[in-house]
Amino acid sequence: MALRTPRAMQVLHRLVELEEHVGMLWHRLITHSSVKHYPEYAVYLDEVRHSAGVMFRALGGDGALKLESSPLTEYRTTRTLLQRVAGSNKKVELAWRNESTLNLPACIDAFPDILLNRDLYLWLAALASGETGYMHEQQGSNDWINHNQWLTCKVLKTFPGLRHRYQRLVDAQLALRPETNKLTAEDKKLELAIQRALQTPGEAVAESYSTVDWLTLPQPVFLWLHPSPPTKKNSRQSDTDYAQPEAGGEVVEPDEKRRYQAEKVEMPEGEKGLVLDRFENIFSWAEYIKVDRSTDEDDDIESAEEAAKDLDQLSVARDNKSAAKRIRFDLDLPAQESDDTPLGDGVQLPEWDYRKKELVVDYCSLQPMIAESAEAIELPAALRRTARRLHSQFEALVPARIWHRGLQDGSEIDINAYLDFVTEQKQAQAIAEQGLYREFRGGIRDMACLLLADLSLSTDSWVNNHARVIDVIRDSLLLFAEALSATGDQFAIYGFSSRYRAHNRFHILKSFNESHSSISRGRINAIKPGFYTRMGAAIRYASEILSKQPASQQLLLLLTDGKPNDLDQYDGRYGIEDTRMALLEARRKGLQPFCVTIDEKAGDYLPYMFGADNYVVIRKPSELPRELPLLYARMTN
């Protein structure tokens, strides 16, 4: 039996270190040789999101589409020996679009030039702007090459200023294409067709190349839109799947913002489990992000994130066990149902179906509710100093008292009007009927404002270590009411949330026919997170209330922290189109809709819904209580 002396153990330890060092060098060498990327010249979507979005919409792209990062997609292409050894080149981020989203790579580092990588983002946005309706889904996968040629010709013909940028990108792309003399006859034929299509997009390829029938795909063409990556059809949850929040655990934000394809599965038996986090601000099932993770394992969140990156399809199931830590992806925790009292039998409202281009009558049911049991309160002490300052500022909005002359009746005779009357009478001129009285009184602010507050699930998230979104909204509503009380303007405050089309909750916090008091403060103080955000129904009902107010200026002010969504098809474009139609209906009634949001991504959808000048984003949610009243003052002064 050999004895392990200290000297032998030291040598063994050094050998292990040397082996690890050599292995690491070998891994770096193989990976670097097999992957042609230039991370030092990388450009990320977040850096160009605004520019790409502006170009897409300015060139005529569908304003309802959201700009998102595309998920890593398994790509069946021929790999070199080094790539097979390194295990690389299995997945790729492609540019593609569907009914509701324009998907661009989260990072582009294909070219050794940062300007080229940035230009590629802008070119893809311009190319996608040429798509109309579902043409890409119907035609793109059936004749991929010819379709991209057609798109390229359309964009270059309409916007010839892009030709120089396109040619630079083509030259860089051709330099990355595989050498045809190393390809099989069939692959060589396809590769030559792609290169010819890139160089001369106006020359149609004779054959039709359908990606559906290919066993092996060609090397990715970075300048083109690819057919939508295949996804499994996911079954919908039942109404009660997410009625209660997940139990306990610290919530951790992922380091990398990336979307994954996912599917819903049944909960497996045994100790191994899955943790599901649900989130509200989504456009489709493909955007759910789940992590395969047992509830009773250690707290190594990083390993869960790494595991998620390696999976093609993430499967989720519901588990009622608690976890030490959970990864949060736009997480919204459901709240318990409100105890507000329903008023009446509810209201039936229409909803716009953009796919059918029709307004479906009596499609939604909205229930007005009021918190009758809410305790009447005075303004919280923490807000009184700010309220006093706002009260002084808003009093300045009240028109000063002035003399109103030429009245038929008043507090005293108007001497000037009387002298004019006598002079005309002496000169035997025709005496026009005129008022001979005057009165000293204030001016008139003929204003009516209805503030509609989003009380959905996402308001239960935390703004900072001290307050949630719902707390910020509560303070904002209290200060808003105090400020408007100083002007004498007519105003009302309502809240809303939803759960499917048959359960739209409309909370009465302060109506037009009551004065602001400790009772309305108590209702505002009692607000709490509800369910989801079916904006269309709430806006239609609020518009009906506001349009009945006798005022020359009627302002419909929407306060929200996210985009329209619900558990059914209201997610994504359907909800955005319905909300947009509800706002158009409000404008036809003479109302002025305006949105105040704390959603940093609001620029992706609010310009399409409200118009470029009819919304504002509050970058620091904690400043909303102070900013909201001041914003109203600027809008109405």
- Indicate the range of 100-114, 307-321, 399-413, 600-614 predicted with least confidence: 307-321
Q: What percent of the chain has pLDDT over 90?
A: 31
What average pLDDT score do residues 264-278 get? 47
What number of CA atoms fall less than 13 Å from residue 345's CA on the CB side? 1
Please tell me the distance from the alpha carbon of residue 418 to that of residue 618, in angstroms, as a whole number: 56
Same domain assignment for residues 15 and 149: no
pLDDT score, position 290: 40
Look at residue 395 and tell me whether its pLDDT is greater than 50: yes
The residue with greater pLDDT, 149 or 4, is 149
Dihedrals φ, ψ of 39, to 5°? -60, -25
Q: Is 319 part of a structural domain of the chain? A: no
pLDDT score, position 571: 82
* CB burial readout 40-67, b (16+ within 10 A) else e: ebebbbeebbeebbebbbebebbebbbb
Instruction: Provide the 8-state DSSP code for 402.
Output: E
Same domain assignment for residues 48 and 20: no
pLDDT band at 579 (very low <50, low <70, confident <90, very high): very high
Q: Which residues contact 491 (CB under 8 A, 6 or more apart)?
A: 448, 449, 450, 451, 481, 484, 510, 512
Same domain assignment for residues 373 and 413: no
Q: Is 255 part of a structural domain of the chain? A: no
- Indicate the range of 101-105, 212-216, 236-240, 585-589 predicted with least confidence: 236-240
Helix, strand or coil, per DSSP, at residue 489: coil
Crossing angle of helices 535-547 and 573-588, rounded to 10°: 10
Output the CA–CA distances (angstroms, integers) from residue 129 to 143, 163, 192, 228, 365, in the order listed. 19, 16, 27, 16, 37
| Residues 338/343/345/348 CA torsion (nearest 10 deg) | -80
Instruction: Provide the 8-state DSSP code for 136.
Output: I
Nearest CA-CA partner of 218 in 70, 75, 34, 35: 75
Same domain assignment for residues 466 and 570: yes
Look at residue 539 and tell me whether its pLDDT is greater than 90: yes
Q: Is 316 part of a structural domain of the chain? A: no
What is the distance, to the nearest Å, from the Cα of residue 398 to the centroid of all Cα atoms in its chain? 37
The residue with greater pLDDT, 248 or 417, is 417
The residue with greater pLDDT, 453 or 633, is 453
Same domain assignment for residues 465 and 600: yes
Q: Is 570 part of a structural domain of the chain? A: yes
Look at residue 8 and tell me whether its pLDDT is greater than 90: no
Look at residue 244 and tell me whether its pLDDT is greater than 80: no
What average pLDDT score do residues 152-163 get? 90
Domain boundary residue, one of 162, 192, 213: 213
Please tell me the distance from the alpha carbon of residue 539 to that of residue 558, in angstroms, as a whole number: 9
What average pLDDT score do residues 301-317 get? 54
| Number of domains comprising the chain | 4
Q: If 0-12 CB within 10 Å is exposed, 13-18 middle and 19+ buried, where does residue 588 land?
A: exposed
Q: Is 231 part of a structural domain of the chain? A: no
Q: Is 287 part of a structural domain of the chain? A: no
Domain boundary residue, one of 153, 178, 213: 213
Look at residue 610 and tell me whether its pLDDT is greater than 80: yes
Please tell me the distance from the alpha carbon of residue 453 to that of residue 535, in angstroms, as a whole number: 10
User: Are the beta carbons of 530 and 427 closer than 8 angstroms?
Assistant: no
Same domain assignment for residues 490 and 425: no
Each residue of 557-566: pLDDT tens digit? 999 998 899 9
The residue with greater pLDDT, 6 or 599, is 599
Look at residue 272 and tell me whether its pLDDT is greater than 60: no
Same domain assignment for residues 122 and 7: no
Look at residue 381 and tell me whether its pLDDT is greater than 50: yes
User: What average pLDDT is seen over the chain?
Assistant: 77
Helix, strand or coil, per DSSP, at residue 80: coil
The residue with greater pLDDT, 586 or 488, is 586
Output the CA–CA distances (angstroms, integers) from residue 582 to 365, 505, 540, 559, 601, in the order listed. 15, 17, 6, 16, 21
Look at residue 475 and tell me whether its pLDDT is greater than 90: yes
Each residue of 10-46: pLDDT tens digit? 777 777 777 776 666 655 554 554 456 788 889 999 8
pLDDT score, position 534: 96
Look at residue 192 and tell me whether its pLDDT is greater than 80: yes
- Indicate the range of 82-96, 116-130, 341-355, 600-614 predicted with least confidence: 82-96
Q: Which residues contact 570 (CB under 8 A, 6 or more apart)?
A: 501, 532, 534, 564, 578
Look at residue 245 and tell me whether its pLDDT is greater than 50: no
Same domain assignment for residues 428 and 363: no
Same domain assignment for residues 431 and 449: no
Q: Is 333 part of a structural domain of the chain? A: no
CATH number of the structural domain spanning residue 531 = 3.40.50.410
Output the CA–CA distances (angstroms, integers) from residue 457 to 41, 461, 502, in the order listed. 40, 8, 18
Look at residue 279 and tell me whether its pLDDT is greater than 50: no
Dihedrals φ, ψ of 339, to 5°? -95, 15
What element of type H or E holds 24? helix 6-34
pLDDT score, position 441: 62
Question: Which domain does 80 fall in, by range?
Answer: 39-66+75-93+102-213
- Indicate the range of 191-200, 277-286, 498-507 predicted with least confidence: 277-286
Q: Hey, which residues does 547 pair with through a beta bridge? A: none
Same domain assignment for residues 503 and 535: yes
With left for phi above 0 and alpha for psi between -120 and 50, is residue 344 left, alpha or beta?
A: left
Q: Is 151 part of a structural domain of the chain? A: yes
Nearest CA-CA partner of 195 in 159, 215, 216, 223: 223
- Tokens describing residue 434: 């005129």
pLDDT band at 235 (very low <50, low <70, confident <90, very high): very low
Same domain assignment for residues 409 and 492: no
pLDDT band at 236 (very low <50, low <70, confident <90, very high): very low
Same domain assignment for residues 515 and 603: yes
Look at residue 268 and tell me whether its pLDDT is greater than 60: no
Residue type present at position 455? L
Look at residue 273 and tell me whether its pLDDT is greater than 50: no
Q: What percent of the chain has pLDDT over 70?
A: 69
Instruction: Provide the 8-state DSSP code for 275.
Output: B
Domain boundary residue, one of 172, 190, 213: 213
pLDDT score, position 333: 37
